[in-house]
């Protein structure tokens, strides 16, 4: 492909508008139009459209929005074919909907989604993709305003390089569709359909938003900042050191007899959270506590206070395509980086700022009734990675460990490995067993497993020997996956595994092929969560879903719908048919996210 011969046009007169409408009737290889927008910024809540652009493989039209948006509205009414966007569901279509232009979901294709499915290891940006698949020159077109006094907000719509830059985008989008569509249709249509549908659902989740107790967030923020200031004074008074001066803190700890074996990328002594947690010294503990509260205060509490809208709603960005495994992430703020619940009191306090919007702040806790006043509902897959490991390995002993309905999976494994039927949930051997399973998934070696489990390497070696002897299917699955990936590397130039659910590719970097075990399991878990979110949406829960976090989905439900919503969650998320071990999901509820309770309907009704 090349961009030779393309035509770029600006709608700045009635004649040009009529020319565009006549152009609509032309025949083109795809019964579709490329669509793109230029906006004043990236905020879908506050920024506005400057240009709307449509095009096919050879012609691109730029439509200044302020004076000529009626032309695009007319085009949308007239056009009966499909629309091709690049990040349309998460961006362009959101702006158009705000402006009163609604393009039906079933008519939309998206080249960013296709690229994420076809080449998950490569950049999904429009210009970068076009540079690879359309014309190498396209990759260098992103600096149109460099050297000018203009910004994306104030550049005139008729500034030639700007509107021409915009008019080219629908051409590039159209050409990328020509490139990607045959690959998707041949290899991974189910993956594409799943990802595209998920984008529309998560955009509605973003719109619904997460309700914030802004006043409580302000109180907590001030408390955290006071604590950090007190730690700074304490460090200065007792050790004459600033807690943020890593080198000085390390020197004091070394003088106290502590040795450091971990280094940063530049060769300096590392003083990260893992290192600090392993040092039993008051200075290390205070430095760690200050760091944690500083991060929680600035990343979350300050963000809550400054960015909630007039209805006290946050609208986090749900990124469905960022990871090559297809795992979803959440930014603005990063809700997935909070420490696991019950492991960090401060993080749980931050979670408690996310509340049910249907419950007034002045309602006393002892008078709150979820089925009357409303509730958050949370549904979290239990041990989904380990269930997938058992499923993929086909190891009957491991599959059987999930069949004990009254026994925790890791307890069942630990009893088999240690040959001790007295092991309970609080037994440290259960935790060692749990860490070993995830070590298999993440490809951790003997030393890393021993460090994580807190046991000597000789003990770790014996444990893994017994694990492999009891569950030989796990190693067989690993070997088969890697052998197949190496064969594909010879024939296709890439080492990859394919999802058994959608046939999408999970691609490994060179000399990091072992990561494919993790990619396959994490990617399959991500696909299952997306499937279930679509099922929940189809079952009527879409209007109340607002956040996916790891393997959990969160809903904010009015009181009269809480019972039905909880029942639907349990029915959809628990699944005995999808894989060879039962998928189990735990439903909980609460007026605050950090104070959730296990859902037991009888207790809820009796409350």
CA distance 585 to 529: 11
Q: What is the 3-state secondary structure (H, E, C) of 274-297?
A: HHHHCCCCHHHHHHHHHHHHHHHH
Q: How far are the Cα atoms of 20, 207, 502 from residue 107, in angstroms, in the given order?
A: 21, 21, 22
Give me the pLDDT at residue 501, please.
Answer: 96
Mean pLDDT of each 10-residue bin along the chain, 607 residues long: 90 97 94 97 90 97 97 96 97 96 97 96 93 84 75 91 95 97 97 98 97 96 97 96 93 91 83 88 95 94 95 95 90 84 79 96 91 96 94 93 77 91 92 91 88 90 93 95 95 95 94 93 97 98 96 97 97 95 94 93 79
Give me the pLDDT at residue 140, please.
Answer: 63
Q: How far are the Cα atoms of 315, 522, 526 from residue 387, in angstroms, in the given order?
A: 32, 11, 13
Nearest-Å Rg of the Cα atoms of the chain is 27
* Residue 199 within a domain: no
* Residue 380 within a domain: no
Give me the pLDDT at residue 48, please.
Answer: 95
With a threshold of 0.85, does the pTM exceed it? Answer: yes
Q: Report the chain's terminal Cα–Cα distance, integer Å.
A: 66
Question: What's the CATH number where 368 sits?
Answer: 1.20.1060.10
* Residue 200 within a domain: no
Number of helical (H) and strand (E) elements in the chain, helices listed first:
24, 17
Positive/negative CA dihedral, 78, 83, 87, 88: positive
Domain containing 357 equals 214-373
**Helix 562-573 × helix 515-536 angle, to 10°:** 140
* Residue 489 within a domain: yes
Question: What's the CATH number where 71 sits?
Answer: 3.30.420.10
HSE-up of residue 524 (Cα within 13 Å, Cβ side): 24
> Are both 153 and 239 inside the same structural domain?
no
Give me the pLDDT at residue 381, please.
Answer: 95
DSSP letters for 337-377: GSPPTTS-HHHHHHHTTBB-TTS-TTS-GGG--HHHH-EEE
Give me the pLDDT at residue 139, please.
Answer: 65
Give me the pLDDT at residue 406, please.
Answer: 66
> Are both 263 and 339 inside the same structural domain?
yes
Give me the pLDDT at residue 407, please.
Answer: 73
Number of domains in the chain: 4
Give me the pLDDT at residue 274, please.
Answer: 82
Q: Which of 496, 519, 542 is the last residue before a domain boundary?
A: 519
CA distance 275 to 273: 5
Q: What element of type H or E holds 127?
A: helix 126-133
> Are both 265 and 244 inside the same structural domain?
yes
Give me the pLDDT at residue 341, please.
Answer: 62
Give me the pLDDT at residue 261, please.
Answer: 82
Give me the pLDDT at residue 445, please.
Answer: 86
> Are both 425 and 341 inside the same structural domain?
no
* Residue 196 within a domain: no
> Are both 53 and 133 inside the same structural domain?
yes
CA distance 513 to 13: 57
Q: Tokens 């492909």 sit at which residue? A: 1
């Amino acid at each position: 492909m090349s961009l030779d011969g393309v035509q770029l046009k600006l709608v700045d007169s009635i004649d040009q508008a009529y020319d565009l409408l006549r152009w609509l009737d032309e025949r083109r290889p795809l019964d579709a139009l490329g669509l793109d927008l230029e906006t004043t910024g990236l905020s879908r809540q506050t920024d506005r459209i400057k240009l709307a652009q449509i095009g096919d493989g050879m012609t691109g039209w730029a439509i200044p929005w302020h004076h000529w948006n009626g032309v695009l509205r007319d085009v949308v009414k007239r056009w009966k074919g499909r629309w091709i966007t690049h990040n349309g569901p998460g961006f362009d279509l959101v702006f158009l909907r705000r402006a009163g232009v609604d393009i039906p979901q079933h008519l939309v294709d998206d080249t960013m989604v296709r690229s994420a499915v076809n080449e998950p290891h490569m950049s999904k940006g429009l210009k970068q993709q076009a540079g690879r698949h359309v014309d190498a020159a396209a990759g260098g077109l992103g600096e149109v305003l460099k050297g000018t006094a203009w910004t994306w907000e104030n550049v005139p719509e008729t500034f030639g390089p700007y509107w021409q830059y915009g008019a080219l985008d629908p051409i590039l989008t159209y050409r990328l569709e020509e490139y990607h569509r045959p690959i998707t249709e041949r290899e991974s249509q189910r993956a594409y359909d799943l990802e595209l549908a998920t984008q529309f659902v998560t955009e509605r989740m973003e719109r619904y938003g997460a309700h914030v107790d802004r006043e409580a967030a302000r109180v907590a923020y001030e408390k955290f900042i006071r604590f950090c200031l007190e730690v700074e004074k304490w460090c200065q008074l007792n050790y004459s050191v600033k807690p943020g001066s890593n080198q000085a803190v390390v020197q004091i700890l070394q003088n106290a007899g502590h040795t450091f074996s971990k280094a940063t990328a530049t060769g300096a002594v590392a003083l990260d959270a893992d290192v600090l947690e392993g040092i039993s010294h008051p200075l290390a503990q205070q430095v760690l506590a200050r760091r944690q509260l500083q991060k929680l205060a600035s990343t979350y509490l300050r963000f809550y206070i400054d960015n909630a809208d007039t209805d006290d709603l946050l609208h986090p960005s749900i990124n469905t395509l960022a990871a090559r495994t297809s795992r979803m992430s959440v930014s603005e703020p990063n809700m997935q980086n909070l420490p696991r619940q019950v492991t960090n009191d401060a993080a749980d306090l931050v979670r408690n700022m996310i509340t049910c919007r249907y419950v007034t702040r002045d309602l006393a806790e002892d008078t709150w009734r979820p089925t009357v006043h409303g509730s958050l509902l949370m549904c979290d897959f239990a041990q989904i990675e380990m269930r997938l490991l058992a499923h993929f390995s086909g190891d009957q002993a491991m599959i059987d460990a999930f069949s004990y309905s009254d026994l925790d999976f890791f307890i069942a494994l630990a009893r088999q490995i240690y040959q001790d039927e007295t092991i309970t949930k609080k037994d440290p051997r259960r935790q060692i067993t749990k860490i070993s399973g995830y070590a298999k998934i993440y490809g951790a070696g003997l030393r890393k497993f021993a460090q994580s489990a807190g046991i000597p390497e000789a003990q770790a070696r014996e444990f893994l020997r017994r694990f492999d002897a009891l569950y030989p299917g796990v190693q067989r699955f690993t070997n088969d996956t890697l052998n197949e990936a190496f064969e594909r590397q010879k024939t296709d130039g890439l080492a990859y595994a394919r999802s058994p659910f959608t046939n999408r590719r999970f691609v490994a970097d060179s000399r990091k092929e072992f990561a494919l075990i993790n990619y396959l399991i994490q990617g399959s878990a991500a696909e299952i969560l997306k499937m279930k979110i679509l099922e929940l949406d189809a079952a009527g829960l879409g209007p109340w879903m607002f956040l996916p976090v790891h393997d959990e989905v969160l809903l904010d439900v009015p009181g009269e719908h809480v019972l039905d919503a909880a029942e639907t969650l349990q029915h959809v998320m628990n699944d005995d048919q999808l894989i060879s071990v039962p998928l189990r999901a735990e439903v909980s509820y609460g007026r605050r996210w950090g104070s959730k309770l296990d859902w037991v309907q009888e207790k809820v009704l009796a409350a």
